[in-house]
Chain A
Amino acid sequence: MIEVKAISKNFGDVQAVKEVTFTAPDNQVTALLGANGAGKTTSLRMIYALITPQSGEISIDGINPKKDPEDARKLLGILPDTRGLYTRLTARENIEYFGKLHGMNDENIKSRTESLVKDLRMEDFIDRKTDGFSQGQRVKVAIARALVHDPQNIILDEPTNGLDVMSTRGVRAFLQKEKQRGKCILFSSHVMQEVAAVSDEILIVNDGVICASGSEESLLEQTQMRNLEDAFVHIVTKGEGHE
């Protein structure tokens, strides 16, 4: 479970995130939905302690990542915004490297890699050097290396960005499966259909503030709209414009 209380961050004069508060419980997919530059990536980076919030509190299963970044990261599996791989290593070696950095032994890494290969359908390219991989293959390897230690909490920054239909569906199915295993999943996206398709709870972020939250149905009800896109625009523009 990830709990965030009133976190804020400035970059110079720009206030990127203002007093953001939410909880992402286990057994649920929580989505941060917002336009580019709304503050999604900055919020996520504070949760996984890559940058320090100016104020506010964060807790990952009771651990404060500001104080114990290494302990908090053991409980987190993170797919960041940038997902570069080591191109001179094979996909398997990329995953192994992160497994070892998590302190796993060879046997655990091997069995966990096998199950990830099956779940993410990486059989065809797992032992190839990652140079020249397609976007879809790269994201799958990046997800696998992020989750090699089978963490309870999963954070993904725009996971399906740049993926084709088949890869997108594969990633979505994988997230559903992880949710059924009782995981806490928090992801950011600017794609309405995607958020609508997979999330249980949607947090709409605009200008560094969460301006609405709830399930898709409840957001539609709050705004009296027929689809999530219209509801999003209504909320973000405060009911002023639909174009």
Chain B
Amino acid sequence: MNNQIMTVMKKEIKDNVRDRKTLMSSIFMGAIFMPIMFVVLINFVVNMQKDKAESQLEMAISGVENAQSFISFLKTKDVKIKEFNGDATQAIKDKDEEAVIIIPKGFSENFSSGIPAKIEVYYDATAKGSTNVTQQRIKALINEYSTSIGMTRLQLRGISPLLLKAIVVEKHDVSTTQSKGAMMLGFLPYALILGLFMGSMYLAIDTMAGEKERNSLEALLLNPVKRSHLLIGKLFATISFGLMTMVLTIVTFKLVMPFMPLEKMGMSVDLGFKNVSILILVLAPLAIMAASLQTIIATFSKSFKEAQTYVNLLMFVPMIPSMALMFVPVKEKLWMMATPILSQNLIINQIMRGEEVAAISIILAIISALIVGLLLALVAIKLYNRESLLFSD
């Protein structure tokens, strides 16, 4: 490779490795802090749901005296009965209760005469997490009681309760164990891509806007080196930091995987050699894209601070496909695999779900990101060649 390009690249790397701010922001925040944060968060969420599903259920009931047999049924199911007096709606709004059951006065009369007896259940359908689990358990218990009573009544009248079941639903869940919890890991593609963007961000700003702010740009341009070579050297340094952070992020994820509550989520993520290689191969060309984009933005900025503001905004770009895929799962199509960032998201998701990634997907993802990255690099070179580069402030 061209010696001058190497010289520029080595100098920029040495210069930035000496800056603690760079190391903190790219390596620590991107590659180490984020994966650990991720594990802690997932553990927290999963354990909370799990605890709730297994713990003793407590039901707030108003009008316990109206339905003795129902209450004894609940007691056999190890439900803790809590007598409730007051405004049910208010109690749920205030989050004092997760659900409130009201047994009206006429319950036992209707019950005895075979008329559907009413039980009112107050709950907040929009509630999330453990509250949701509680509501489902309550509804399931009421259904169970209602069905068992209904069946007994039919039997007493000499009718087979099976007549009620015109259709039997037999569920075949074809999702592998891995895809059940994939939703939880939907954040992973973003974490990996973000790590890459964070890794190169500081160098892009420092080598472009930083050089301008330090007033060393003019002297640098006066060396007998083509400007395109100067820029390529800087770009290589920026890309190498992005790559390094990306690989480190993957390694950290591999190391923290054993601490993920994968079993509780009913899944197993295979981060073996093959999948790690696919991840690195597919993400690597994105480093060129990220570095070039950040460099272009930093070229236009007058100061370090200004560049930092704009480059930080750029972080939202890789977030869009990740977020969209988290909420709207799509069927992978070829054109999607040829769309940089989206393709990386899809492939990482496939790996998380334990699916085989098609070779064509990998090739398309690499080539498309490379093409876009190189085009952006050309734009960055063009911008660096402008006479007004030095005078834009």
Contact = CB atoms under 8 A, between A and B. Distances in A.
Interface of A: 48, 50-52, 69-71, 73-74, 76, 78, 80-89, 93, 97-98, 100-103, 142, 145-146
B224 A88 contact: no
A50 B224 contact: no
Interface string B110-125: 0000000000000000
B226 A70 contact: yes
Given A74-B224, A97-B7, A102-B223, A84 B390 contact: no
A70 B225 contact: yes
A51 B221 CA distance: 11
A61 B114 CA distance: 113
B146 interface: no
Interface in B186-230: 214-226
Contacts of B223: 73, 98, 101-102
Interface centre among A48, A100, A102, A146 (most CB of B within 10 A): A100
Contacts of B264: none
A97 B11 contact: yes
Given A82-B215, A83-B215, A100-B7, A50 B14 contact: no
Interface residues of B, number: 25
Given A86-B214, A87-B214, A103 B387 contact: no
B18 A50 contact: no
Given A70-B224, A70-B226, A101-B225, A84 B15 contact: no
Contacts of A97: 7, 11
B107 to A, nearest CB: 79
18 contacts: A50-B387, A52-B387, A69-B224, A70-B226, A80-B218, A82-B218, A84-B216, A88-B18, A89-B11, A89-B15, A89-B18, A97-B7, A98-B219, A98-B223, A101-B4, A101-B223, A101-B224, A146-B222
Nearest to A149: B224
A43 to B, nearest CB: 15
**A-B residue pairs, 9 tightest by C-beta:** A84-B215, A84-B216, A82-B215, A101-B223, A84-B214, A73-B224, A70-B224, A88-B18, A100-B7
A201 B3 CA distance: 40
Contacts of A88: 15-16, 18-19
Contacts of A51: 387
Contacts of A71: 224
Nearest to A52: B387
Given A82-B218, A97-B11, A103-B224, 16 more contacts: A50-B221, A50-B390, A51-B387, A70-B225, A80-B218, A80-B222, A82-B217, A84-B217, A84-B219, A87-B214, A88-B16, A89-B14, A89-B15, A97-B7, A101-B4, A102-B223
B219 A145 contact: yes
B208 to A, nearest CB: 14
Contact of B222 (A78, A84, A93): A78
A232 B14 CA distance: 48
Given A70-B226, A100-B7, A86 B221 contact: no
A101 B226 contact: no
A103 B4 contact: yes
Nearest to B219: A80
